[in-house]
Structure 1
């Protein structure tokens, strides 16, 4: 693998700077990090919503059973 040479402020107009910057850029790594972050946030939100939905269903079932037992006792 070709070693990157150090560039100083005067080298930004040098054609070799752009070739090395393009060839050894971290575009793919940053893109992978962006996609990974998106997946983590999406899954985190999804699991949070699913947990709250399941908790709400359990609370509704408990309330429904409580109301049914009260209604059965009064009749």
Structure 2
């Protein structure tokens, strides 16, 4: 499955896998660089999706504390 077709949850799971691989010390320098680049792209994507979700919630009237405005 390509990164563009991943759900947010799948992207987070892949980030966990990447962090684990990078942390176990078994990857070559080339593999580490490729994993780092993939992870950086996934972090950017997840951040963008979280920002969009926050805007949607604010548009629907939710405050930062999770309470609905005016209810």
TM-score by length of 1: 0.44
Q: Which one has the bigger helix percentage?
A: 1
Greater length-normalized contact order (CA 8 Å, ≥ 6 residues apart): 2
Larger Rg: 1
TM-score by length of 2: 0.47
